């Protein structure tokens, strides 16, 4: 739930700062949400590198995939790259598209974790699916904004 809180609070603060300070770029929901998403992806990427969450993420990788630890590292790096990409106007659409694809491709690991009681257990799968759709919707707002 922490990633959703970070996304919501940072996006709202960015939008408020844009409105109060008259910063035209921030006085836009797509741009404010991009900042919130960037903060959220920095937070979620940290789990890919720090114990004990890293080990839990490695356990979530489906057994058919090779080198689970390497895949967790790679996806963490991709989340960090996506976070940076969201903040650069010239790359924000590409970053949002790539992050949407990554979230869709990684969701089977969440399903596996819920069914086998592995990995990070922050919320039940139906709620996790709804939160995932919120993240994808936020990325879509950046993409079309």
Residue by residue, pLDDT tens for the chain (145 residues) are 899 999 999 999 999 999 999 888 888 999 999 999 999 999 999 999 999 999 989 988 888 899 999 999 999 999 999 999 999 999 999 999 999 999 999 888 888 887 777 766 667 888 889 999 999 999 999 999 8
What pLDDT does 139 receive? 98
Q: What is the pTM of this model?
A: 0.92
Cβ distance 30 to 20 under 8 Å?
A: no
Give the CA distances from residue 81 to residues 5, 9, 65, 106, 120, in Å, rounded to whole numbers and listed in that order. Answer: 21, 22, 23, 16, 23
What pLDDT does 13 receive? 97
What pLDDT does 77 receive? 98
In the DSSP assignment, the letter for residue 123 is S
What pLDDT does 122 receive? 67
What pLDDT does 104 receive? 96
d(CA 33, CA 86): 9
């Amino acid at each position: 739930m922490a990633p959703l809180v970070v996304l919501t609070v940072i996006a709202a603060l960015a939008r408020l700062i844009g409105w109060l300070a008259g910063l035209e770029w921030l006085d836009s929901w797509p741009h404010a949400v991009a900042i919130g998403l960037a903060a959220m992806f920095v937070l979620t990427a940290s789990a890919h590198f720090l114990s004990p969450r890293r080990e839990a993420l490695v356990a979530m990788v489906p057994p058919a995939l090779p080198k689970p630890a390497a895949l967790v590292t790679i996806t963490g790096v991709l989340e960090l790259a996506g976070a940076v990409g969201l903040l650069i106007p010239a790359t924000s659409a590409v970053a949002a598209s790539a992050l949407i694809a990554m979230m869709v491709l990684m969701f089977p690991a969440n399903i596996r974790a819920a069914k086998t009681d592995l990995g990070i257990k922050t919320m039940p799968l139906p709620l996790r699916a709804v939160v995932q759709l919120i993240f994808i919707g936020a990325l879509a707002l950046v993409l079309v904004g």
